[in-house]
Amino acid sequence: MNRTSGSRPKNLKGTLKHLFNYLKHHIYLLILISILVLIPAIATMIGTYSIKYIIDYAEEQNLEAIKHLCIKIGILYACGALSCYTYMHLLAYLAQQITYELRRDLFKKMVSLPIGYIDTHSYGNIMSLFTNDMDTVTDALNNAFATLIQYAVEIVGMIVCIFILSYQLSFIVVGFYILMFSYIIYSSKKSKSFYKKQQKELGKLNGFADEIIRGQRTVKVFNHEEASKEEFNKLSRTLADSSKKAMTYALSMVPMVMFLSYVNYGIVTIVGGVMVINGVIDTIGTLSSYLVFVRQTAMPINRFTGQANLLLNALAGAERIFALLDEPSEFDCGTVTLVHAKEENGSLVISNLNSDPYAWNDNGSLTPLKGDVRFNNVVFEYNPNKKILHGISLYAKPGQKIAFVGSTGAGKTTIVSLINRFYEVTEGTITFDSIDIKRIKKSELRKAIGNVLQDTHLFVGTIEDNIKFGKLDATHEEVVRAAKLAHADSFISRLPDGYNTLLTTDGLNLSQGQRQLLAIARAAIANPPVLVLDEATSSIDTYTEHLIQEGMDELMKGRTVFVIAHRLSTVMNSNAIIVLEMGNIIERGEHQELLEQKGRYYSLYTGKSELQ
């Protein structure tokens, strides 16, 4: 990944303001580094200026004066070297500290963002913030910050010195400096659009590579390797073309500045020689010192340009990081919390025992958590003017099993997302034990709901750690109990390391069915009053499904359960089956009742039509 490529920041002022908010916490260290940076810059200027006196003393054959001056210059350069060594170490510490704070805040923001943000931004682009952009910012803090200060001081100092030595010659030099900076500005503007396109293409390439790497099984199953290579090469070529155009202008700055500096040096040498002959410049030492300054000035201008590019690219990366940090966190104005409660003198009181049942705490008013969930004329749209749900009304009494059936895109998963408050309803209300879920803290609401989702995600760690993800303080005995309930204990026990078996990313060293069983065990250990099973057995074969059915029935006993399944055999014993089409409820009732209606459910059950 190219760590130094990126577009220029669009809002430079805002980005610098954000960055200063991090720097100001280390302001004293920053001041100390700035002072230390000045010392080698000043040493360089004084050393160059001293050439005038050394040559003049040499003409006078004043060896004693030359010796003392050289000793002083040597001491000054030694101080500059020591200062450089010190500030480089301090700068490395500062860069790593600020990077740590940025990365910490970025991850904190990421986990607080709403699901809608994750759904609308590619994984590759989000990860590039933690890798490409963060590394670019770190490089700039390590290298560009101090270097820019040093070179800026050297450029200004050298211009002052050449005016002191000969203001007449300096007009020629300043004229060439104006030409140099004019070309730098021109080249920067020309490369800006290509840098912008380059970053865009880089995001596309990263996103495509991420998809193909994650979907290698699918790629190989469908013999899509060659097509993937062609598409990757196409994206890579587009990125390379944008990079070439951007770098053509960016890299032309250094040779152009060098060319102008050589022409400048040649003209100043000729004119300066004539001025010495005519007595306009008093000594050869003055001209010699002047020419060294002119020759040296090109170096800090070139390096300043290179470091400025690095800094601008870093600021572009920082701008993207700060753009995410400025994203609004998941909205939550809920105040109702979940507590353990017990009955005392005929009324509920808060209990400190985890074994006591849950209750909703609404500013001291306790309501038993039963699992009564109701949709009241709910309308939902992901985007304005594109409704997904149209006035949905349904209820699930405590202990009931409610099944959703319908084609892909009918709104089944959307309903589940709304129950978890991953999204907010557009119109209508959803109540949990007669409490509007908007009034319940999201973390407390989700604590009351156990989810077994269609896309099983397991983390790198042991099997026991992954099951305990549903209850972090669970004991080993609770883990085993939950695994047995999900019928996962039998296959776990046959593994060489049992519950200490280390899983790779997404549990790829297990079968799909085994991963699904662990997801069910994770939900079981949380012991929630409401369960959401979104295609929970979609990846489990018929035999395994039969094995876990008893455990699932035990798990669902006394709980409100919402089931989404394409296998109609899994919903036959539901208290109510709701058939959805295009965000509308078209049928509802028990299995036998719906068969007698001979509608959409009947067609699905008898195989006269299929779920698409």
Spell out the residues 6+ positions from residue 565 whose beta carbon is closer than 8 angstroms to its own. 403, 405, 533, 535, 536, 537, 538, 571
Among the residue ranges 5-14, 123-132, 429-438, 564-573, the one predicted with the least confidence is 5-14
Q: CA–CA separation, 66 vs 68, rounded Å?
A: 6
Total residues belonging to the chain: 612
Spell out the residues 6+ positions from residue 317 whose beta carbon is closer than 8 angstroms to its own. 6, 132, 133, 134, 136, 137
Planar angle of CA 7, 249, 247, nearest 5 degrees: 60
Q: CA–CA separation, 511 vs 394, rounded Å?
A: 37
Beta strands at 530-534 and 427-432: parallel, antiparallel or unpaired: unpaired
Q: Which of 575, 603, 607, 604 is CA-nearest to residue 591? A: 575
| Res. 1: pLDDT tops 50 | no
Kindly state the percentage of the chain with pLDDT values over 70. Answer: 90
Render 17-65 in DSSP notation, one character per residue. HHHHHHHGGGHHHHHHHHHHHHHHHHHHHHHHHTHHHHHHHHHHT-HHH
Q: CA–CA separation, 242 vs 493, rounded Å?
A: 55
Q: Using an 8 Å Cβ cutoff, are 522 and 514 in contact?
A: no
Q: CA–CA separation, 416 vs 412, rounded Å?
A: 7
User: What integer is the mean pLDDT of 555-583?
Assistant: 83
Residue 73 one-letter amino acid: I
> What contacts 24+ positions apart, CB below 8 Å, involve 597-600?
none
Name the burial class of residue 122, with classes exposed (0-12), middle (13-18) and buried (19+) by CB atoms within 10 angstroms of its CB: middle
pLDDT band at 538 (very low <50, low <70, confident <90, very high): low
Residue 372 one-letter amino acid: D
Residue with tokens 């130094």: 4
Average pLDDT of the chain to the nearest whole number: 83
Residue 605 one-letter amino acid: Y
pLDDT band at 192 (very low <50, low <70, confident <90, very high): low
Q: Which of 571, 602, 565 is CA-nearest to residue 586? A: 602
Domains and CATH numbers, the chain: 12-325 (1.20.1560.10), 337-368 (no CATH), 373-606 (3.40.50.300)
| Res. 212: pLDDT tops 60 | yes
> What contacts 24+ positions apart, CB below 8 Å, involve 545-551?
545/570, 547/487, 548/486, 548/487, 548/517, 548/520, 550/487, 551/484, 551/485, 551/486, 551/487, 551/520
Residue 109 one-letter amino acid: K
> What contacts 24+ positions apart, CB below 8 Å, involve 113-121?
113/327, 113/329, 113/330, 114/329, 114/330, 114/331, 114/422, 114/423, 115/417, 115/422, 115/423, 116/382, 116/422, 116/423, 117/327
Return the higher-pLDDT residue of 65 and 456. Answer: 65
pLDDT band at 606 (very low <50, low <70, confident <90, very high): confident
**Whole-model pTM?**
0.71
Q: Using an 8 Å Cβ cutoff, are 464 and 360 in contact?
A: no
| Res. 375: pLDDT tops 90 | yes
| Res. 306: pLDDT tops 70 | no
Q: CA–CA separation, 183 vs 568, rounded Å?
A: 71
Strands (E), 83-128: none
Q: CA–CA separation, 181 vs 177, rounded Å?
A: 6
pLDDT band at 6 (very low <50, low <70, confident <90, very high): very low
Q: Which of 468, 469, 520, 460 is CA-nearest to residue 491? A: 520
Render 198-256 in DSSP notation, one character per residue. HHHHHHHHHHHHHHHHHTHHHHHHTT-HHHHHHHHHHHHHHHHHHHHHHHHHHHHHHHH
- Of the chain, the end-to-end C-alpha distance in Å amounts to 40
Q: CA–CA separation, 432 vs 435, rounded Å?
A: 5
> What contacts 24+ positions apart, CB below 8 Å, involve 469-472?
469/522, 470/521, 470/522, 470/523, 470/524, 470/525, 470/526, 471/525, 471/526, 471/527
| Res. 345: pLDDT tops 70 | yes
Q: Using an 8 Å Cβ cutoff, are 31 and 90 in contact?
A: no
User: Could you give the C-alpha distances from 100 to 32, 128, 136, in angstroms and in order?
Assistant: 21, 16, 14
**Each residue of 384-419: pLDDT tens digit?**
778 899 999 999 999 899 999 888 778 888 898 899
| Res. 534: pLDDT tops 80 | no
